[in-house]
Amino acid sequence: MENFKVTPWEVIGDVDYSKLIKEFGIQLIDKNLLRRIKKHTRVLHPYLTHGIFFAHRDMNWILDEYEKGNVFYLYTGRGPSGSVHLGHIMPWLFTKWLQDKFGVELFFQMTDDEKFYFKDDISLKKAQALARENALDVIAMGFDPKKTHIFSNTGIAKFMYNQAALIANRITFSMIKASFGLNESSNIGKIFYTSMQAVPAIMKSVITGNNVPCLIPHAVDQDPHFRIARDVLPKLNYYKPASIQCLFLPGLKQGGKMSASEGVGAIYTTDNIATIKKKINRAFTGGRGSAKEQREKGGNPEICSVFKYLFMLFEMDNKIISTIDEECRKGERLCGQCKIYLQEKIIHFLKKHQSQRERAKEIFDQYWVEEQNDVKLLFKK
C-alpha cells in the first residue's frame, strides 16, 4: 500500500479504503445486506446509510443464525493508552444501537496488557488504572447493565490466560510476523498478545458450554487480529467470529485517524467548552486562502475535517449534510460557519456525556467484572 499505513497500533496518511479492502480481504456492505439488517431493526442506523460502517466478515451468517434462534453476542474493546476521544466513541455508538435493536449481550475488553507491551511510556499499573477510567466513558454510553460485561485482561487473567494458551498453541511466529510486521526485536508480549484479543470471541461459548455466534463491531485497523482468530478458532471447534467494520474518524489535522496522543488534533470526552472551541477553530478545513477566494471558487468538503466530523458523528440528517456540502462547494458557506455549527454540536453532546460519565462512577460495579473462581459465575448478572 502506498502513501498510508494501517496496523492495529498505527494509522498514517490518508487511507485508501478501496486498497485496504483488497489488502484485508473484507467485503463491502451492499444493499442486500442492508435490507436484511433493516428487516430486524426496522430502521437503519445513519452509520450504515452514510457508509461509515462499510465492510464486514460473515454478517450474513450472523443474521442466518439469528433467524434460526441462535442469538449472537457482541464483542468490542478499547486499548487504554490515554483519555477517550470522539474517534473511540463512534463505534461504541453503533455497538449500542446493535445491542438495543437485537437485545443481545456485550462483552467489552479493556486491553491493558496490550498497551503495556506496545507503549514504552505506559507502565502496567498505569494501563490498569486507565482501563477503569476509560470504562466510565463506556458506561456513559448507556449500555444495558444487565447485558453488558466490561473487563480488563489482567483483571480476569486466570480466565483469559487459560483460553489464550489454547489459542496461542495454534499460532506460529510466522503468522504474527506476516500480519503485524513484528520482528526479532519485538518483546514476546507483543508476539503473544493477539491470542488474548481472540478470547472474547469465544467467551460466551466457553461460559455456556455451547457454541454462540460472536459479532465484533470495530474500526478496520483491528481486522488483522480477527483474521488470525478466524483462522485459529475453528481448529478449537468454535465458530469464526463475524465482524462489521467502520472508517476512521480523522484527526483535526490533515491525514490519518484521530489519535489519543495528538492533543490538539483530538477531542477528548473530558474537554471543556473553551478547549473544544479552540481545537475546532484550529482544525484543518477544505477552505481557500481567503473568504473572497472561497466565495469565488468554493471550498472542498472532501478534505475538510470539520465536514467529516459533521458527516460521521454530529449531523445525521442527509438533507442538512447535503445542503452544507453544496453551499461549501458553491462558496455560499464559509469555514467559520461550519466551525461554529460543529462546536455547538460537540458541546451539546459532551455536556450530556460528561454528566453521564459522572453518574457512571456510582453504577460502575454493575458493569465491571473482576476475577472469580467459578467461570460460569464470572459474567452472571
User: What is the residue whose three cell numbers read 434460526?
Assistant: 68
Alpha helices in 181-314 (DSSP H): 188-198, 203-208, 223-232, 273-281, 291-297, 305-309
Question: Sorting pLDDT into bands at 50, 70 and 90, what band is 220?
Answer: confident
**pLDDT tens, position by position, 29-47:** 999 999 999 999 999 999 9
Is residue 256 very low, low, confident or very high in pLDDT (cuts 50, 70, 90)? low
The confidence band for 331, taking pLDDT boundaries of 50, 70 and 90, is very high
Residue 377 pLDDT > 70, yes or no? Answer: no
Longest dimension (CA), the chain: 70
Residues in a beta bridge with 6: 11
Q: How many CB atoms lie within 10 A of CB 196?
A: 24
Query: For residue 254, how many other CB atoms are within 10 A of its CB?
Result: 14
Residue 343: pLDDT above 70? yes
SS3 readout for 79-96: CCCCCCEHHHHHHHHHHH
Mind listing the pLDDT tens digit for each residue in 187-196? 999 999 999 9
Strands 242-246 and 106-110: unpaired
d(CA 346, CA 278): 12
Which 3 state secondary structure label does DSSP give 320? Answer: helix
- Interval 12-19 mean pLDDT: 70
pLDDT band at 1 (very low <50, low <70, confident <90, very high): very low
353 pLDDT more than 80: yes
Residues 69 and 74: their CA atoms lie apart, in Å, by 16
Mean pLDDT, residues 138-152 taken together = 97
pLDDT tens-digit profile of 76-123? 999 998 899 999 999 999 999 999 999 999 999 999 999 999 999 999
In terms of phi and psi (left: phi > 0; alpha: psi -120 to 50; beta: otherwise), the region of 187 is beta
pTM exceeding 0.75: yes
Q: What is the rounded CA–CA span in Å between residue 9 and residue 26?
A: 19
Structural domains present in the chain: 5-252 (3.40.50.620), 273-359 (1.10.240.10)
- What is the percent of the chain with per-residue pLDDT over 90, rounded to a whole number? 75
